[in-house]
Amino acid sequence: MSPAEARHVIVADLGFGDAGKGTIVDWLAGRAAATARPARTAAVLRFNGGAQAAHTVVRADGTSHTFAQFGAGTFAGVPTLLTRHTLVEPLALAREAAALAALGVPAPLDLISVDRAALLTTPLHAAVNRAREAARGGAAHGSCGIGIGETMSYALDHPDLALRAGDTESPSRLRRRLLALREWAATTIQTLAGAGLPGAGGAVPLPDVNELIRAYRAFARRVRLTGAGELARLAAAGPLVCEGAQGVLLDEWRGFHPHTTWSTTTFANALELLTEAGVDTGDVCRLGVTRTYATRHGAGPFPSEDPSLAPLLPEPHNGTGRWQGAFRVGHLDLVLLRYALEVCGGVDALAVTHLDTAAAAGDRLKVATAWRAGGTRITRLRPGPFADLAHQRRLTDLALAATPDLTAPGRSWPGLLSGELGVPVAVTSWGPRSGDKHPPTMDFSPTREDRGRVPVP
C-alpha cells in the first residue's frame, strides 16, 4: 500500500538516522492537510525519541527550522501529539516555540499536545548523561547529551518517582519528584567523579529545583495535556502522519550495541498506539526512508564509510557535535538495509531521498552489495532473539571487522533499491523542500524475480 492509498502513514528511517524523515513528513503533512478540512483535522504523531530529534524542513522561501519536538508538519499547520512513547523536554519545547514564532508560525504552542504519561527529560538527566559519556573517554557510546538515555534508565530503576508530563499539574507531586531526581543526579555524578573516571567532573552545575518547578508549572498551564482517548479522536477526525525519530539501526534492541539509543525506532510503537486507538492497520502505510548513500553521526560501526566522499556530499544541516561526534558518510549499504527491513517487519513502500546530491556526486557513489569478514561473504545479517544484547554486540563486532564489496549501481537509485529490496518506491526526493518530493515518474515496483532476492517478513 502506498501513502496515497493509505489513510495513515508511519515514517521510519532505515539507517542510522538523518535520512530526511522531516522533509518526508512535511510533504506528507501538506498533502494530508490539503485533503482535510480544516487542516487541523490531520495530525502528526511522535512515537519515539525526544528532544534530540533534528528534522530539518526547508520552506519554499529558503527559510528553515530543525524540528526537535514539534512535528515536521508544523509549517503546514498540522498539529502534533507527543505520545506516551516520546520524551518531552519542556524547557527546550518553549525555546522551539519561540523560534517557530520568529519564523511566522502563529501561536505555536496551540499546535502541540502532550500525553500525560510521557516522561519528562530535565537538565538533571542531561547533567548525568554528559558526565557519564565524558567518563567513557575513548570508549564513548555516542550521545546527543540531552539526557534521553538517563531519562529512560531512571524511569526503569525508579518507576514510582519518574517524572511525567501529568505531574506538572500537581505542585506537591512535582516538587517531591524533582527533589528525588536532583538527589539521584548529584549522587550519580559524585560517584562517577569519585571513581576517577576521565572527564567525569566536567558536568554542568545542577539547576535549582524551585526554578524548574516554576518552568514546569508554566508548561502545564500553556500546553494542552491529554490522556486516553485522544489518539482515537484524532484518528477518527482525519489522517495521521506518524513521525519516527533516529533510525532502525540505532534501535535499543535491534541496533548495534552499545552504539544505540534508548528508544524503539521501528514501527512497533506506532502500530501499538494505532491498534489501541481502534485503527485498522489495513489503512496504514509503513514508509521506510533511506538516502542514496549511507550516513552516521558519531561512534559505531560503519562498514561502507568513505571519508573521501565528504566533499562531494554537502551537509548544510549536519556537522560535528560536542556529544554526538562527527558526521560520517559512506556508500549505500544493502546488507544494512536488508537487516533494517527484516527487524522492523518489512515496509509497504520506500521514500528515497538525496537524489539531487547523488546526481551531483556522479559515479563516485557506489553500492555495498555484500560484506567480507574472516574470508566469508555476507549478504544478510541474522537477527537474534528479541532483546538479546549479546547477539547485538556480536553483530557490532562483525560490522567493525567487515569490509564492503562495492560496485557501481548500474541503474537509477530508485530502481536499484526497489529491485534489490523487493519494495516499491513511493516517494523520491530531489531536494529539501516539499516541492522537491515526487511520486516516481516510472514504475519502480519490484518484479517477481526481484521479490525473491530478499525475504522481508
Active-site annotation, residues: 18, 55
200 neighbors 192 (Cβ within 8 angstroms): yes
429 annotated to bind ligand: yes
Task: Report helix angle 123-135 to 171-194, nearest 10.
Answer: 10
355 annotated to bind ligand: yes
Helix (H, G, I), strand (E, B) or coil at 243: strand
CA distances from 293 to 298, 305, 352 (A): 17, 10, 10
85 annotated to bind ligand: no
Helix (H, G, I), strand (E, B) or coil at 329: strand
Under 8 Å CB-to-CB from 429, ≥6 apart: which residues? Answer: 20, 23, 24, 27, 351, 352, 353, 354, 355, 436, 437, 438
H-assigned helices in 146-251:
148-157, 171-194, 209-222, 230-237
Q: In the 8-state DSSP scheme, what is residue 444?
A: -
Cell of 184: 539521584
Q: In sequence order, what are the beta bridge partners of 430?
A: none
- Residue 80 class from Cβ within 10 Å (0-12 exposed, 13-18 middle, 19+ buried)? buried
348 annotated to bind ligand: no
Indicate the helix (H) or strand (E) that contains 80.
strand 80-82
How far is C-alpha 241 from the chain's CA centre? 14
Amino acid code (one letter) for 82: L
Q: Report the b/e string of 119-153 with b at 16+ CB within 10 A.
A: bbbbbbbbbbbbbbbbbbeeebbbbbbbbbbbbbb
261 annotated to bind ligand: yes
d(CA 373, CA 127) in angstroms, rounded, equals 40
Under 8 Å CB-to-CB from 239, ≥6 apart: which residues? Answer: 7, 8, 9, 32, 35, 36, 42, 43
Q: In the 8-state DSSP scheme, what is residue 381?
A: P
How far is C-alpha 16 from the chain's CA centre? 9
Cell of 154: 531512571
335 neighbors 283 (Cβ within 8 angstroms): no
27 annotated to bind ligand: no
2 annotated to bind ligand: no
Indicate the helix (H) or strand (E) that contains 90.
helix 90-102
Residues annotated within the binding site are: 18, 246, 261, 354-356, 429-431
Tell me the binding residues for IMP: 246, 261
What residues are designated binding site for Mg(2+)?
18
